Amino acid sequence: MTIATNSLTRRTVLRTGALAAAASLLPAASQSQKTGAPTAYAPSTLKPPSPATDLPVRLGIASYTFRQFDSAHLVDFVHQLKTPYLNLKEMHLPMTPLDQVAAQAAAYRAAGFILTAAGNITFAKDDDADIRPKFEYLKAAGIPIAICAPTHENLPRLEKFVKEYNIKLAIHNHGPEDKNFPSPFDVLAAVKNLDPRIGLCIDLGHALRAGADVVAAIHAAGPRLYDLHTKDLADVGSRESQVAVGEGVMPVRAIFQALIDVKYPGQVDLEYEIHGDNPMPGVVESFAYMRGVLAGMGYK
């Protein structure tokens, strides 16, 4: 694993002894272990971010973006982005052992983050024994929303767990390859008669590839929209054409206006799936573009 610039050196963002102790609870990703990443990190002068509570669109990050990096690097990188909103993937908050989940989640919060969601979590089986441990994981972490990939068959069983745990499900559409929910409209059709805590996470890139009007999907989802993953594409017909946000065809301003119109209370989480070994240049460019769009709309 290589990091291209000096600003992405192997360091964490620990400012105090308390944060250092908390960060010691953060798990290391397997790839960093394989590549010999050090277990100790030099302190950084970067400060944890503060929420931009006055903005009608809140920009966050899906930790899958940094899937090739351990949790110490994740903390550092997201601090550099100056956002507190973090959607954690399992490689950065493992489901097992369960008795360590609460402490690891607390370490992220001590580092200045708001844990908005976890996932994508796969619910492939219509089986309590498969589903309950995942809800216990969410409960232990204190995370209110599961970005998830269920099946049509297990939605009734999942609804029972939603009622028992009071945890929201945001079903993630995965484009034409997804046999269950390729488009956000497929999710909405499946959940319309279920508990209102079962909604969707619109993945904008996959939605475009599935032929969906993403602005119309936001309006159609309304209060069932619990999360949104953003990425951009140079070609709506090609999954491999992902680019930094602003370089492709995604109608970002219209999307932000739709979110404002429906009074969307959640986050717009960048999920950057290219250049896994060095994502920060594209991630920084994407955040700069999205913040620029918001500034152009009169929000700073």
Q: Is 8's pLDDT higher than 60?
A: no
Cα(239)–Cα(133) distance, integer angstroms: 32
Residue 50: its pLDDT value, please?
A: 53
Report the mean per-residue pLDDT for the chain. Answer: 86
Q: Is 248's pLDDT higher than 60?
A: yes
Cα(219)–Cα(215) distance, integer angstroms: 7
Cβ atoms 209, 236 nearer than 8 A: yes
Q: Is 33's pLDDT higher than 90?
A: no
When pLDDT is averaged across residues 70-76 and rounded to a whole number, the result is 97
Residue 179: its pLDDT value, please?
A: 96
DSSP state of 173: P
- Using 50, 70 and 90 to split pLDDT, how confident is the model at 44? very low
Cβ atoms 210, 253 nearer than 8 A: no
Nearest alpha-carbon partner for 186 in 229, 155, 141, 163: 155
User: pLDDT for 178-212, tens place per residue?
Assistant: 999 999 999 999 999 999 999 999 999 999 999 99
Cα(187)–Cα(202) distance, integer angstroms: 9
Q: Is 24's pLDDT higher than 80?
A: no
User: For residue 176, how far is the Cα from the chain centroid?
Assistant: 21
Of all residues in the chain, the percent with pLDDT exceeding 90 is 81
Cβ atoms 249, 232 nearer than 8 A: yes
- Using 50, 70 and 90 to split pLDDT, how confident is the model at 162? very high
User: pLDDT for 131-152, tens place per residue?
Assistant: 999 999 999 999 999 999 999 9
Strands (E), the chain: 58-62, 85-88, 114-122, 145-149, 168-172, 198-203, 225-230, 232-233, 242-243, 267-270
Write out the two tokens for 153. Answer: 């068959």
Residue 54: its pLDDT value, please?
A: 65
Write out the two tokens for 79. Answer: 């601090």
Write out the two tokens for 262. Answer: 């429906």
Enter the pTM of the model. 0.85
The neighbour count for residue 212, using CB atoms within 10 Å, is 21
DSSP state of 241: G
Please state which of the four CATH numbers 1.20.120.80, 3.90.1150.10, 1.10.3720.10, 3.20.20.150 is assigned to the domain occupying 13-37+46-296.
3.20.20.150
Residue 262: its pLDDT value, please?
A: 97
Per-residue three-class SS string for 220-272:
HHHHHEEEEEECEECCCCCHHHEECCCCCCCCHHHHHHHHHHCCCCCEEEECC
- Using 50, 70 and 90 to split pLDDT, how confident is the model at 55? confident
Residue 300: its pLDDT value, please?
A: 78
- Would you list the DSSP string of 57-77? SEEEEEGGGGTTS-HHHHHHH
Q: Is 48's pLDDT higher than 50?
A: no
